[in-house]
Amino acid sequence: MLELRHLRTLIALRDAGSLVEAAERVHLTQSALSHQIKDLEERLGSPLFLRKTRPVEFTRAGTRLLALAEQVLPQVRMAERDLARLAGNEQGRLHMAIECHSCFQWLMPTIDHFRDHWPEVEIDIPGGHHFDPLPALAREHLDLVITADPQPLAGVHYEPLFRYEGLLAVARQHRLAGRPFVTPVDLTEETLITYPVEHARLDVFTQFLDPAGVKPREVRTAELTIMMMQLVASGRGVCALPNWALTEYLERDYVKAVSLGAEGVWSTLFAAIREETRELPWMEDFLRTARETSFAVLEGIKPA
C-alpha cells in the first residue's frame, strides 16, 4: 500500500538527483531506499525512474507520483502545523542572532515563510547588541542563535542545520586555481583574508593550518564578503569561505575555489536554542523550515 514515506522519498530523490544523496536527506542508507523503491515499483507494476542517468530521470509513472507528492505533502504539513497549534503552546517569542556572516540568504525566506504560518509567534532579529550572543541566549535575552561553533553551555542545545565545505577562494589566474585541492604548506606564501573574529572561530586555522603547524605569510581582515572577493580577485590574497557563500561569485567566474585538503574542510552550522524551547511545536517547525529552505536555496550543502 502506498504510504507518505514513499512520496517523501521520491521528492528527496528528485531534489537530490541520486539515490545516494537522497538517502542522506531522509537519513537512511542508500540500500534502504533501493529496497523501498523496488518494492514500490513491483507493487505498481512499473519502474519509477531510470537509474543510469545523472540526475536520475523519472518515468511517466514516477512523474505522476511526484505530482501526487507535490500535491499531498504540503497539505499534510499544513495539517501538522494546525495540529501542533491545537496541541497548545501557540504564542511565543523567537528573537534571533546570526553569528554567521552571509546567512541572510537562506534565513530571510525562512522567516517570511514562518511568519505566515505562526502569526502568534513574535519573530525578530534585534540589532545593535554587540554582546556575545550565546550567553544572551542562556539568559533568555535571545531565543535562537545561528552559529558554526557550538560551545558547551548549561541549558543550551545545539541543533545541527546542515554541513558545508569551507573552500579557498583564489584569483582566477592564481597558481592554485585548478588544483583538485590545496595542502596547508601551499598557504605559507599567501596572504589570508578572514572575517575580523577570534582565531579560534576560523575553521581554516583550527581544522587546516594549525594541525599542520603552518602559518600563512600574512593575515588581514575584511568585514564583508564582497570586500574579500574584491581583494581576492585582484590577487591581493586568498580567503576561506563556506561553499554556499561563494557560489554567486563562482557562477560569475569572479574567483576560483579549491578544496582545503583531499577530504575538504567540513563544518556544521547549528541553531543554538534553550533546552526548554526545544520541543515547542513552532520551534520544531522553524528548524524544519530552516533546513528545507537552506537546501532549496543553497548549493553544495549536506544534511548534518
Partner DNA sequence: CCAAGAACATGAGTTATTGTCATGATGAAC
Partner DNA sequence: GTTCATCATGACAATAACTCATGTTCTTGG
- Whether 231 contacts 193, CB under 8 Å: yes
Residue 28's binding partner among a second copy, DNA, none (Cβ under 5 to 8 angstroms by kind) is DNA
Residue 60 CB, shortest distance to a second copy, in Å, is: 6
Residue 145 CB, shortest distance to a second copy, in Å, is: 26
Q: How many CB atoms lie within 10 A of CB 179?
A: 15
Residue 18's binding partner among DNA, a second copy, none (Cβ under 5 to 8 angstroms by kind) is DNA
Q: Which is nearer to a second copy, 61 or 125 (CB)?
A: 61
Q: Which is nearer to DNA, 51 or 139 (CB)?
A: 51
What residues line the site for a second copy (CB under 8 A)? 1-5, 44-46, 60-61, 64-65, 67-68, 71-72, 75-76, 79-80, 82-84, 86-88, 281
CB-based burial of residue 71 (10 Å sphere; 0-12 exposed, 13-18 middle, 19+ buried)? exposed
Q: Which residues lie closer than 8 Å to 65 by C-beta, 6 or more apart? A: 6, 7, 10, 48
**Residue 30: closest CA among 41, 38, 22:** 22
Cα–Cα distance, 235 to 242 (Å, whole number): 20
Q: Is the peptide bond before 55 cis (omega within 30 degrees of 0)?
A: yes
Residue 156 CB, shortest distance to a second copy, in Å, is: 24
- Whether 193 contacts 217, CB under 8 Å: no
Residue 73 CB, shortest distance to a second copy, in Å, is: 9
Residue 226's binding partner among a second copy, DNA, none (Cβ under 5 to 8 angstroms by kind) is none
What residues line the site for DNA (CB under 7 A)? 3, 5, 18-21, 23, 27-32, 34-39, 51-52, 54, 56
